Amino acid sequence: MPLAGPDRVPGRLPVLDAEMDTELEPIPARDAHESPERENTSGFCAPGRAPTMGGKPAAGTTSAGKVEPPAGAEGQDNRQRRLRLLLLFGGFLLFAAAAWWLWANVFAGDVESTENAYTNVELAQVTPLVSAPVKRVRVVESQKVAAGDVLVELDDADLRLAVSQAEAALGKARRRVWQLEANDASLEGQEKVRSAEEATARADLARAQADLDKALLDEDRTQKLSSHGWAPTQRLDDAHTSVRQARAAVAQAEASIAVAQAAQHAATGARRANQALLENATVETNPEVAAARAQLDQARLDLDRAIIRAPVDGIVDPRRIAVGQRVQAGAPIMVVVPLQDMHVEANFKEVQLARVRPGQPVRLTSDLYGSDIVYRGRVGGFAGGTGAAFAAIPAQNATGNWIKVVQRLPVRIDLDPAELRTHPLRVGLSMHATIDLSGSH
């Protein structure tokens, strides 16, 4: 029978839980020859020791006498703890999804954004316009310059000689025009002389004609007298000779008139040809003088171009020139980056551009300054084609197997110059662009 209440034996402990129903056997009498250290195998235990069953600690107790919880209760607590953690994690995910949906549809507004955006600018190429050796380089890479600042000085010795030659050519052209003007006066005098010679020839013709008429009259009279025997034959012969001489004089006078007319025509033509070089022009507006002056202006311009200046405000980078190098006209020697004209090329997916229009506001941040610095821009326009269309080796979609790839179209975003002056950017920096589409409906 189990012990209970006052029936308990002093120095004995009850067996817990399932062992309560087990009847404890009395400790048998110890033989006088047995050692006190003999292991206690009975159900009783000395005060301060844990109860044992057959020399082993009873179930639910430790060797120190402490009571341990049953194994089933501990497993149940672990399962409940894992269930609570799983429910807590699921609730956190549900809360995060709801917060994201609320932010995207209520607070974030109607936007399209991309991180595939980079700064860009129309670079200003610096190229010499004349061929000459480099005498001095005034700038280094990454140096800030203003429009008109001297960048490079070329050796101008040959160019100065060209200017002197052009000046001499201009003086020669002016003297040639002065000569033409003097020739015009001379040809005018020759024309008048030829006209006078023609008049003289006509007068000679008239005199010869008069002499011919008198000779014919004398011949006729002499012949009549000679027919009656009143005039000698010698006189008749002299009359015939006078007639022939008069006729020869008339022919000579007519020839002289023709010569005078031809000379006059030649003088007139020469003067007209000379006047054609001077017509409607002064010495300075004469074509020859103007051409020589243009050559002089070109030579002086080439001399001025020996000093290479910055075309725009910006940063010099990169520089490809050194002192002593002979540069050729049109060969790039450096680049000036106009930071004040910086813009952003944002490569949006084609599925994002259905409601994007020029002029829409854009919010931009750069990796250089972080999210604290915000740029306010505007959509400037769209590229004429996708990046793949203008690639060096475009895609050949008509050959082989085809896989559809979402294309990206560059979108130009203009920036505020005032913000660029406050926080300047450089070419190729990464940007995050967000277009506000709220006004596109």
Residue for token pair 């292991």: 39
Classify the C-alpha dihedral 196-198-199-200 as positive or negative: positive
The single-letter DSSP state of residue 77 is H
Q: How far apart are CA 51 and CA 385, in angstroms?
A: 91
Q: How far apart are CA 180 and CA 275, in angstroms?
A: 8
173-192 pLDDT, tens digit each: 998 888 877 887 777 777 77
- What's the pTM? 0.59
pLDDT for the residue numbered 220: 72
**Helix 157-227 with 287-304: angle, nearest 10 deg:** 170
Q: Which residues contact 299 (CB under 8 A, 6 or more apart)?
A: 159, 162, 163, 165, 166
pLDDT for the residue numbered 390: 84
Q: Which residues contact 59 (CB under 8 A, 6 or more apart)?
A: 16, 17, 18, 19, 53
* Strands 334-337 vs 124-126: parallel, antiparallel or unpaired: antiparallel
Q: Is the Cβ–Cβ distance between 316 and 151 less than 8 Å?
A: yes
| Cis peptide bond N-terminal to 394, omega within 30 | no
pLDDT for the residue numbered 282: 85
pLDDT for the residue numbered 236: 65
Q: How far apart are CA 172 and CA 288, in angstroms?
A: 10
Q: How many C-beta atoms lie closer than 10 Å to residue 199's C-beta? A: 12
In CATH, which of 3.40.1110.10, 3.40.50.10800, 1.10.8.60, 2.40.50.100 is domain 124-153+306-336? 2.40.50.100
Low-confidence winner among 9-23, 201-215, 315-329, 349-363 (lowest mean pLDDT): 9-23
Q: What are phi and psi of 178, to 5 degrees?
A: -60, -35
395-434 pLDDT, tens digit each: 777 777 778 888 999 999 999 999 999 999 999 999 999 9
CATH code of the region 111-122+338-391+403-436: 2.40.30.170
Q: Is the Cβ–Cβ distance between 132 and 155 less than 8 Å?
A: yes
In CATH, which of 3.40.50.880, 1.10.287.620, 3.40.605.10, 3.20.20.70 is domain 158-299? 1.10.287.620
